[in-house]
Homo-oligomer: A and B are copies of this chain.
Amino acid sequence: MYIPTLNDMLAARERISPFVHRTPVLTSRILNELSGAELFFKCENLQKAGAFKARGASNAVFGLSEEQARRGVATHSSGNHGTCLSYAAGRRGIPCTVVMPRTAPQAKKDAVKGYGGTVVECEPSTTSREAVFAEVVAKTGAEFVHPYNDHRVIAGQATCSAELIEQVENLDAVVAPIGGGGMVSGTCLTLSSLAPHLKIYAAEPEQADDAYRSFKAGHIISDDAPDTVADGLKVPLKDLTWHFVRNFVTDIHTASEHEIVDAMKLIWKRLKIVMEPSSAVPLATILKNREIFAGKRVGVIITGGNVDVDKLPWN
C-alpha cells in the first residue's frame, strides 16, 4: 500500500491546475452567530463537474502515461466520482467507462454521458457490479480509478485544503464530511504536513456511522446498506483512507437526518449555494457541538452540488 505524501499533493496541484477551479470561500455573519464560531465554507460544489472529486479524478487521469491513457479509465460509482472521472477523461480526450446499477437515477447516467463517458449497466448487487466491471477492464484494458482508496485520488483531493489554508489565515480546525474517506484523507495529508496544529474533524450521518464506529473501535467496520439522505456518504472506509483517519483525525461527529436537512436548508438560504445533503453534515455537527467550535476559526468543506433540484429533501 503506497501512502501518498506532501510531494504527491504538490505534484497533483501543478498537474490538475488547468482543469479544476480554485473554488471560492464564502462566509455568513448569521451562520457565525448561530454557531458561535467563524466559519469559512470552501465551496467545492462550485468545482468543475460540481464536486471536489474532479480534483482526484483529474490527478489520476493526467498522471497516466500516454500508453495507459490510450486504453482509458474505468470505475464503478453511481455518484460524483463517476461524473468527475468522465469529466477528467473528457478533458484529456481518452475513453472512460463507468459501471452503474441499472437502477441508478437517469440524471447520474446522463451526467457521465454529458462529459463523454460510457455508462455500462449492472444489476444492483456487489456480485453483478464486480463481474461487469471485470469484464469491462478485460475488454478495454482500462485503468481502474477507485473513488477514494487510491493514492492518486487522495493526493488530488489533498489540493483542496492546500488552497483553503492559503485563502484563510489562522484556521483552528477543518470539518469535512466522511463517507469512504477520500476528502478527509486528502485533508489529513496536507494539514498534517503544512498545518499540523489544525484539528481535523470528520462529520458523518448517524444512519451511516461506520467511520464513527470504526474510529472508536480502532478497526474498520462496514455497514450493510446504510440509508441516509446524505447519499454520498454511504460507502465504507478502506485501508488507505483508514490509515489517514486513524492517524490524523481529531474526532468524528454524527448528525441525524433531521439535523442534516435543517443544516442544508440553512446553507441554501444563508450562503445562497446549491449543495448536496452530504455537504451539510459538517455544519450540522458544528451546530450540535457548539462547545467544541465556539470562538474558533473553522474551515468547512462543501463537497458537492449535484442535487436534483426537482426533489429537494424538504419538499
- Tell me if B46 and A309 are in contact (CB < 8 A): no
> What are 15 inter-chain pairs, A to B, with CB distance below 8 A?
A26-B46, A30-B114, A46-B271, A46-B273, A265-B309, A268-B274, A268-B309, A269-B274, A269-B309, A272-B273, A272-B274, A273-B274, A274-B274, A309-B312, A309-B314
> Could you say which of B268, B269, B310 contacts A314, with CB atoms under 8 Å apart?
B310
Q: Which of A106-124 contact B (CB under 8 A)?
A: 114
**How many chain copies?**
2
> Could you say which of B30, B114, B272, B312 contacts A275, with CB atoms under 8 Å apart?
B272
Compute how far the CA of A26 lies from the CA of B23 in the bound complex, rounded to whole angstroms.
10
Q: How many residues of A contact B (CB 8 A)?
A: 21
With a 10 A CB-CB cut-off, give which of A50, A265, A271, A274 has the most chain B CB atoms. A274
Over the window 263-294 of chain A, the binary record of Cβ atoms lying under 8 Å from chain B Cβ atoms (1 yes, 0 no) is 00100110111110000000000000000000
Q: What residues on B are CB-neighbors of A50 within 8 Å?
A: 272
Q: What residues on B are CB-neighbors of A36 within 8 Å?
A: none
Expressed in whole angstroms, the minimum distance between the Cβ of A156 and any Cβ of chain B is 19
Expressed in whole angstroms, the minimum distance between the Cβ of A27 and any Cβ of chain B is 9
- Tell me if B314 and A46 are in contact (CB < 8 A): no
A315 within 8 Å of B (CB atoms): yes
Q: What residues on B are CB-neighbors of A305 within 8 Å?
A: 272
Q: What residues on B are CB-neighbors of A312 within 8 Å?
A: 309, 312
- Report the nearest B residue to A27, measured CB to CB: B21
A24 within 8 Å of B (CB atoms): yes
- Given A46-B273, A274-B274, A312-B312, 10 more pairs with CB closer than 8 A: A24-B24, A30-B114, A46-B271, A265-B309, A268-B274, A268-B309, A272-B273, A272-B274, A273-B273, A310-B315
Q: Which of A202-244 contact B (CB under 8 A)?
A: none
- Tell me if B24 and A272 are in contact (CB < 8 A): no
Compute how far the CA of A24 lies from the CA of B305 in the bound complex, rounded to whole angstroms.
17
Q: What residues on B are CB-neighbors of A268 within 8 Å?
A: 274, 309
- Report the nearest B residue to A276, measured CB to CB: B272
A45 within 8 Å of B (CB atoms): yes
- Report the nearest B residue to A114, measured CB to CB: B30
> Could you say which of B24, B273, B315 contacts A315, with CB atoms under 8 Å apart?
B315
Q: What residues on B are CB-neighbors of A274 within 8 Å?
A: 268-269, 272-274
Compute how far the CA of A268 lies from the CA of B312 in the bound complex, rounded to whole angstroms.
13
Expressed in whole angstroms, the minimum distance between the Cβ of A222 and any Cβ of chain B is 31
With a 10 A CB-CB cut-off, give which of A45, A269, A305, A314 has the most chain B CB atoms. A269
Compute how far the CA of A30 lies from the CA of B314 in the bound complex, rounded to whole angstroms.
28
Compute how far the CA of A265 lies from the CA of B273 in the bound complex, rounded to whole angstroms.
13
Compute how far the CA of A30 lies from the CA of B49 in the bound complex, rounded to whole angstroms.
10
With a 10 A CB-CB cut-off, give which of A24, A265, A273 has the most chain B CB atoms. A273
Q: What residues on B are CB-neighbors of A269 within 8 Å?
A: 274, 309
Using known A-B contacts A312-B309, A315-B315, determine if residue A272 contacts B114 with beta carbons closer than 8 Å.
no
With a 10 A CB-CB cut-off, give which of A50, A268, A305, A309 has the most chain B CB atoms. A309
